[in-house]
Amino acid sequence: MSTADASLPAKFDWSSEAAAARRRRRHMADRRLRLLGIGAICIAVGLLGILIVSLVANGYRSFVQTMVTVPVYVDPQYVSEDDPSKGNYRAIVKDTLAQLFPEVTDPRQQRDLGQLLTNNTQYMIRDRVVADPALIGTTFDITVPVSDPFDQLEKGVLSRDLPEDQRKIDDQQIGWYDQLVEEGRISTPFNWGLFFNSDSRFPELAGLAGAIVGSFYALLVCFLISFPVGIAAAVYLEEFAPKNRWTDLVEVNINNLAAVPSIVFGLLGLAVFLNFFGLPRSAPLVGGMVLSLMTLPTIIIVTRASLKAVPPSIREAGLGMGASRHQVVMHHVLPLALPGILTGTIIGLAQALGETAPLLLIGMNAFITSPPGGLLDASTALPTQIFIWADSPERGFVDRTSAAILVLLGFLIIMNGIAIFLRQRLERTW
Amino acid sequence: MNQVTTAEQRAATGPIIIPDPDMNPVRVSAKDVSVFYGAKQALFDVAIDIPERSVTAFIGPSGCGKSTFLRCINRMNDTIDGCRVTGDITLDGRDIYDRTLDVVELRARVGMVFQKPNPFPKSIYENIAYGPRIHGLASNKAALDEIVETSLRKAGLWNEVKDRLDEPGTGMSGGQQQRLCIARAIAVSPEVILMDEPCSALDPIATAKVEELIDELKENYCIIIVTHSMQQAARVSQRTAFFHLGILVEAGPTEHIFTNPKDERTHDYITGRFG
C-alpha cells in the first residue's frame, strides 16, 4: 500500500448489505409518504363527493315542478272590466274545478278539490286578467303549480302505499289527481320559479330570486368598500410605510382581524350600523358593509402578498429611471400585482357570499316575498335563504334547501372559476 | 519590484490617488463618504473624483462596498431601510444629498443599469418611452418615436429590434435585455450612467457587445462601472478604483493600477492572490 492511498479517507462500501438495506428503507419511506398523500386526497375528494351526491340526490327534484294546466272561464259576473283587480277570483277557481269535476258537489269535497292547485292560483289568474282585460268573458288555459303534497306525490316522495290516515291527502284526492294525469293536464317542466320567484310560505311557489338579488347587492357593496380600501391600505403598508413598531402592530392586527369569527362582525354591524347609525334592518347595504369588514383583511393580505411577489428589480428599474415612488407603484408594481389581487378579491368575495352568521344578526333572514328594489330594501341573501328553508317544516322545503345549496355552490364555482381564469390569463413571468 | 506600502501604513494615510494630468474635468466628486446599514458601517471615508466622458471602473472582492458606493451616487440607497450616508457627494459641484435637491431629478441625471437585466414587462417601445414620458421630454408622439429610435441606435439595438418594437422586452435574449436597459437609461439624456456588474449575467459574446457599447458611450457620458472581472475593467475603463473591506484603497489610471499598483492589497488582488 502506497503512502498516497493511506492518506485517502476510508472507502465506503456502497454495495454492502447494510447500505442496500438503508437505501431500501429510504425508498419505502418515499412510497409511504406518497401513499399517505394519495390517501389524504382520496378522503378529501370522497367527503366532497358525499356532500355533492347527497345534495344532488335531495335537490334534483326541485329543479322540476309539477304543473297542471286548466281551462279558466273568466265569468264577467265575478270580474268587472272597470277594475279587474278587484274581482272574485276565488269563485273563478272554484268554478274551474267544478267544471273539471262536475260530479263533486259536496262543499267539503269541493274544498278538498281546491287543495289540488297551489293556493295562489286565484292571484295568478288575476294577474293575467289585469294584464289583459280582454280575457274577461273568455276561456283560456293557465298552467299553475300543483300544491306541495301533489308535487311530492308526482315525484314519488309521498308514497301511495302509506295508510291514508298518515298522508296529508286522501285517496279521493289522489283519484282526482290521477284523473288530471289521464286527461294529460299534468306536466313537469324545468322549475324556472326556483330562480325567478321570491320566497313564499308554499314550497311550490318559493324561489331564490330575492336571495340572489339580495346577495348580489350585498356583494356589490362589499366589493365597492373593501376593494379600494384594501388595496390602498396594502399599498401603503407594503410600499410606503416605514418598518417600525407601529406598522408591525397594524400588520398583526390585520392578520388578527382575518381570524375573527364572523358572528362577531355581525354583532358589530348590529351595534354600529343598525343601532348607532340607524341604517335599515335587513338591508343589503348593511349586509355588504358587514361582509366588507370580513373581506377587508383578506384583500389586504392577498394584495400585500401580490405586491411582495413583484420582483424588487422592477421597482429598482423604475426608481433608477427617476420615477417617483407613486409612479413606480401605479405604473409598474400595481399592474403586475393586479392578477393576484383580483384573484384574491374574488375568492374573498366568494367567502363573503357564503357567509351566514353576520347576516342573521342584521336581520337578513326575514321572510320577504319580493326581490329588493334597492340597497335599502329589506332582503335575504342566498345563505340566509338556505337557513330559512332548512327551518321550514313542509316536505317541499327539504328539496328546496338542497337545491338552494346547489345554486349557491354553483355561484361559488363560477366565481372561483373566474379567479382561476384571470390568474392564468393575466399572470406574467419574469 | 514595485514600491508597495503595507496595509498598516495605508490605514493611517487614506487612499492612494495616483494623479493623472490628462484626466477630463471632474463630474462626480466624493469626500469622506461613509455608509451605515443600521449599526454596521459598510463604507469608510471614501474620497474620489470621477471625470466626465470616460469610464471609471470600481473593482474589489465581494462585499467590499463598491456597489454600495455606486448606489450612493444616484441615492438608490435611500430605498433601503436603515441605510445612512454621511459625507459629501457632488454632481457638477452640487451636493446631491442637499435637502433642496429632488431625488427624482438626480436619478434622471444619473441613470443606472443593474446587475440582472430588468426591463419592464412591457413592449420594447414602452420600455424606452417610459422615462421620456414621465419626465416630459417629448411633446408629441413623433418626438417620442425619435427619442426611442436614437436611444436604441446608440445602444446598437435598433437594427435588431426595429421590426418588433411592440414585442415584450422580456422576450429578448439576456444580452439584448441588458442593452435595452442601457438604451432605456440613455433615453432620458443622463449625464452619468452607473453600471452595477452589467455583464455578470451575460455570456461572453453578449458581454463583448455590451463592452463595445460602453466604449462608444464614453464619448458622451460619464460612466461608472462596477465589475468583478479585472479583464473587463482593464478593457473598458480609463480609470480604476480598488475597494477593499469598505475602504477605497487605490485609484488612478487603469494601466497604472494594473501594471504598477502602489498598495500591497491592490497588488495581491490583481494578481489573483485573494478575492
DSSP state string for chain B: ----B-HHHHHHH--EE---TTPPPEEEEEEEEEEEETTEEEEEEEEEEEESSSEEEEE-STTSSHHHHHHHHTTGGGGSTTEEEEEEEEETTEETT-TTS-HHHHHHHEEEE-SS----SSBHHHHHHHHHHHHT--SSHHHHHHHHHHHHHHTT-HHHHTT-TTSBGGGS-HHHHHHHHHHHHHTT--SEEEEESTTTTS-HHHHHHHHHHHHHHTTTSEEEEE-S-HHHHHHH-SEEEEEETTEEEEEEEHHHHHHS--BHHHHHHHTTS--
Question: Looking at beta carbons, which residues of chain A come within 8 Å of B120?
Answer: 314, 317-318, 332
- Which residue bears the cell 343589503? A284
Q: What is the mean pLDDT of residues A186-213?
A: 92
Residue ranges per domain, chain A? Answer: 63-191, 209-426
3-state secondary structure chain A: CCHHHHHCCCCCCCCCHHHHHHHHHHHHHHHHHHHHHHHHHHHHHHHHHHHHHHHHHHHHHHHECCEEEEEEECCCCCCCCCCHHHCCHHHHHHHHHHHHCCCCCCHHHHHHHHCCECCCHHHHHHHHHHHCHHHCCCEEEEEEEECHHHHHHHCCCCCCCCCHHHCCCCHHHHHHHHHHHHCCCEECCECCHHHHCCCCCCCCCCCCHHHHHHHHHHHHHHHHHHHHHHHHHHHHHHHHCCCCHHHHHHHHHHHHHHHCCHHHHHHHHHHHHHHHCCCCCCCHHHHHHHHHHHHHHHHHHHHHHHHHHCCHHHHHHHHHCCCCHHHHHHHHHHHHHHHHHHHHHHHHHHHHHHCCHHHHHCCCCCCCCCCCCCCCCCCCCHHHHHHHHHCCCCHHHHHHHHHHHHHHHHHHHHHHHHHHHHHHHHCCCC
Phi (first) and psi of residue B49, to 5 degrees: -110, 135
Q: What is the mean pLDDT of residues A103-128?
A: 89
Distance between CA atoms of A381 and A387, rounded to whole angstroms?
10
Pairing of strands B222-226, B192-196: parallel
Q: What is the mean pLDDT of residues A340-344?
A: 91
Question: Looking at beta carbons, which residues of chain A come within 8 Å of B107?
Answer: 319-322
Q: Per the structure block, which three cell numbers stand in for A369?
A: 316575498
User: Please, which residues have CB within 8 angstroms of residue A244's CB and are 6 or more apart in sequence?
Assistant: none
Banded pLDDT at A220 (limits 50, 70, 90):
very high
* A64-76 confidence digits (pLDDT tens): 999 999 999 998 8
Region A209-426: CATH code: 1.10.3720.10
Distance between CA atoms of B23 and B3, rounded to whole angstroms?
24
Tell whether the model's pLDDT for residue A300 goes beyond 70: yes
Banded pLDDT at A157 (limits 50, 70, 90):
confident
B79 contacts A319? CB cut-off 8 A: yes
A322 contacts B130? CB cut-off 8 A: no
A interface mutation test: which of B80, B96, B107, B170 has the most A CBs within 10 A? B107
Model pLDDT, residue A428: 64
Residue B85: how many CA atoms within 13 Å on its side-chain side?
24
3-state secondary structure B174-216: HHHHHHHHHHHHHCCCCCEEEEECCCCCCCHHHHHHHHHHHHH
User: pLDDT over 70 for what percent of chain A?
Assistant: 98
Q: What is the mean pLDDT of residues A322-343?
A: 92
Angle between helix axes A284-309 and A209-235 (nearest 10 degrees) is 40
Distance from CA of B42 to the nearest CA of A (A): 21
Q: Per the structure block, which three cell numbers stand in for A220?
A: 356589490
A242 contacts B118? CB cut-off 8 A: no
Residue of A nearest to B129 (CA): A321
A428 contacts B108? CB cut-off 8 A: no
* A33-51 confidence digits (pLDDT tens): 999 999 999 999 999 999 9
Distance from CA of B190 to the nearest CA of A (A): 10
B interface mutation test: which of A245, A247, A315, A321 has the most B CBs within 10 A? A321
Banded pLDDT at B2 (limits 50, 70, 90):
very low
* A373-414 confidence digits (pLDDT tens): 989 999 999 999 999 999 988 888 998 999 999 999 999 999
Question: Looking at beta carbons, which residues of chain A come within 8 Å of B135?
Answer: 322
Model pLDDT, residue A303: 95
User: Please, which residues have CB within 8 angstroms of residue B263's CB and are 6 or more apart in sequence?
Assistant: B4, B5, B7, B10, B16, B242, B249, B250
Distance from CA of A393 to the nearest CA of B (A): 60
Distance between CA atoms of A382 and A403, rounded to whole angstroms?
11
Angle between helix axes A334-354 and A284-309 (nearest 10 degrees) is 140
Inter-CA distances, A365 with A196, A211, A214, A217, A359, Å: 19, 10, 11, 15, 7
A322 contacts B106? CB cut-off 8 A: yes
Q: By a Cβ cutoff of 8 Å, what residues of chain B touch chain A?
A: 74, 76, 79, 81, 104-108, 111-112, 114, 116, 118-121, 130-131, 134-135, 170, 181, 184-185, 188
Question: Looking at beta carbons, which residues of chain A come within 8 Å of B81?
Answer: 242-243
Distance from CA of A363 to the nearest CA of B (A): 49
Banded pLDDT at A1 (limits 50, 70, 90):
very low
* A321-332 confidence digits (pLDDT tens): 989 999 999 999
Q: Per the structure block, which three cell numbers stand in for A199?
A: 320566497
Distance from CA of A314 to the nearest CA of B (A): 6
Render the burial of B63-101: b for 16+ CB within 10 Å, e for the rest: ebbbbbbbbbbbbbbebeeebebebebbbeeeebbeeee
Q: Per the structure block, which three cell numbers stand in for A153?
A: 306525490
Pick from A135, A134, A95, A138: nearest CA to A117 = A95
B121 contacts A430? CB cut-off 8 A: yes
Model pLDDT, residue A22: 93
Model pLDDT, residue B1: 36
Distance from CA of B162 to the nearest CA of A (A): 23
Distance between CA atoms of B190 and B193, rounded to whole angstroms?
7
B108 closest CB neighbour out of A314, A322, A332:
A322
B176 has which bridge partners? Answer: none
Model pLDDT, residue A86: 86
Tell whether the model's pLDDT for residue B10 goes beyond 60: no
Banded pLDDT at B100 (limits 50, 70, 90):
confident
For chain B, give the mean pLDDT. Answer: 88
Residue of A nearest to B128 (CA): A321
Model pLDDT, residue A169: 87
Q: What is the mean pLDDT of residues A88-104?
A: 90
B104 closest CB neighbour out of A311, A317, A322:
A322
ipTM value:
0.86
Distance between CA atoms of A263 and B204, rounded to whole angstroms?
64
Distance between CA atoms of A344 and A302, rounded to whole angstroms?
6
Residue of B nearest to A244 (CA): B81
Distance from CA of A376 to the nearest CA of B (A): 45
- Judge contact between A146 and A204, C-beta under 8 A: yes
A317 contacts B76? CB cut-off 8 A: no
- How many A/B residue pairs have CB atoms within 8 Å? 64
Distance between CA atoms of A151 and B209, rounded to whole angstroms?
82
Banded pLDDT at A295 (limits 50, 70, 90):
very high
- Which residue bears the cell 407613486? A326
Question: Looking at beta carbons, which residues of chain A come within 8 Å of B73?
Answer: none
A321 closest CB neighbour out of B116, B130, B170:
B130
Distance from CA of B92 to the nearest CA of A (A): 18
Residue of A nearest to B193 (CA): A320
Pick from A178, A181, A159, A176: nearest CA to A168 = A159
Q: Hey, CA dihedral for A299, A304, A308, A312, is it positive or negative?
A: positive
Distance between CA atoms of B148 and B186, rounded to whole angstroms?
10
Residue of A nearest to B72 (CA): A320
Model pLDDT, residue A426: 79
For chain A, give the mean pLDDT. Answer: 91
Distance between CA atoms of B224 and A72, rounded to whole angstroms?
95
Q: By a Cβ cutoff of 8 Å, what residues of chain A touch chain B?
A: 242-243, 311, 313-324, 327, 331-332, 336, 428, 430
Distance between CA atoms of A154 and A180, rounded to whole angstroms?
12
Pick from A293, A430, A421, A429: nearest CA to A361 = A293
B134 closest CB neighbour out of A242, A313, A327:
A327
Q: What is the mean pLDDT of residues A127-141?
A: 90
Model pLDDT, residue A314: 93
A317 contacts B181? CB cut-off 8 A: yes
Inter-CA distances, B110 with A302, B20, B96, B105, B189, Å: 36, 24, 11, 9, 9
Banded pLDDT at B3 (limits 50, 70, 90):
very low
Phi (first) and psi of residue A368, to 5 degrees: -130, 125
Amino acid at the residue A163: P
Q: What is the mean pLDDT of residues B266-272?
A: 88
Question: Looking at beta carbons, which residues of chain A come within 8 Å of B181?
Answer: 317
B121 contacts A428? CB cut-off 8 A: yes
Question: Looking at beta carbons, which residues of chain A come within 8 Å of B111?
Answer: 320-321
Pick from A278, A290, A426, A296: nearest CA to A357 = A290
Question: Looking at beta carbons, which residues of chain B come within 8 Å of A316?
Answer: 76, 79, 112, 114, 118
Distance between CA atoms of B225 and B229, rounded to whole angstroms?
11
User: pLDDT over 90 for what percent of chain B?
Assistant: 55
Banded pLDDT at A7 (limits 50, 70, 90):
low
